[in-house]
Structure 1
Amino acid sequence: MSAHHILLVEDNPDDVELTRLAFAEAGGAHRLHAVGDGAEALDYLLARGRHADRDGADLPALVLLDLNLPRLDGREVLQAIRADPATRALQVVVLTTSAEPRDVDQAYALGANSYIQKPVEFERFVEAVRQIGRYWLELNLAPGRG
């Protein structure tokens, strides 16, 4: 797996560390940048606020988005990503604990590319991350990266 830039939007520090470990275990030297709330995710993507010095053209190849976040929740983040021409084509995978049909349907209605319930067991989580990485970062031909 070649290295890609991934934005992880996750407020639980344990899940952030678990995701880092899972990507390391899955293989690949991805640049994983984690932010802890929805407002910071948008600041990062749009290179504003405390991320104003970041190159706004350097968008991640993949956004892993939790739904239940402080400040702006994942649904609001997804809606804002799809509303902005600069971020509209980003590949967004909702990675969350909820398997509620309402959450799944709403995420897709707002433009999620995929919806995955976080596995609880570490080995299953690593395998899910491996599959996410393989599909979204290797096999899928994304707009502007095809």
Structure 2
Amino acid sequence: MSKNNQSTYSGGPIDILLVEDNPGDIRLTEEAFKEGRIENNIYVTKDGIEALEFVRKEGEYEDVPRPDLILLDLNLPRKNGDEVLEVLKDDDNLKCIPVVVLTSSKAEEDIVKSYRHHANAYLTKPIDPDEFIETIRSFEEFWFSVVRLPPVDEDQR
């Protein structure tokens, strides 16, 4: 988990669940958010099963906060991102959590399927590390400075 205290966002830190199995992409994402302007807490799960346990607060995740936003890779072990997205958006308690697909796939089929499963956005990861960091920073600027996230009932936290 990384924290950044240079926030211009007045709602307190944003809790982000990053569902990613690639250590390099995890590091780059954490680095980009660490250097950003929004105070955030990044939690990482490395497969689809862990991601669902996290949002449902099961097992080792019973004391974690409900994420304000989920960054979801599609190519995951045990349960892929499409399956996770479908489960999240079919669950009345979880479907209002914004889910942004962050993946290396540029396949039109993956984009269409993600939006059919109600992804809130689809971002393709650039291969170049500097471009990857810039994509995350642009995403952060838009998502946390322009977009209004839904409020969460305290009993869901």
TM-score normalised by L of structure 2: 0.85
Tell me the equivalent position of 1:18: 28
Per mean C-alpha deviation after superposition, the further-off stretch among 131-140 and 66-75 is 131-140
Tell me the equivalent position of 1:82: 89
Distance 2:36 2:149 in 1: 21
Aligned partner letter, 1:134: E
Distance 2:114 2:93 in 1: 20
Alignment of 1:1-146 (within 5 A): 1-2=8-9, 3-52=13-62, 54-55=63-64, 58-144=65-151
Q: What's the Cα RMSD here? A: 1.4
Q: Cα distance, 1:27 vs. partner?
A: 3.3
Q: Cα distance, 1:29 vs. partner?
A: 3.0
Aligned partner letter, 2:118: G
Q: Which structure 2 segments of 5+ residues have no match?
A: 1-7, 153-157
Q: Cα distance, 1:86 vs. partner?
A: 1.3
Secondary structure in 2 aligned to 1:20? helix
Tell me the equivalent position of 2:3: none
TM-score normalised by L of structure 1: 0.91
Aligned partner letter, 2:32: A
Instruction: Give percent identity, aligned residues only.
Output: 37
Distance 2:130 2:77 in 1: 28
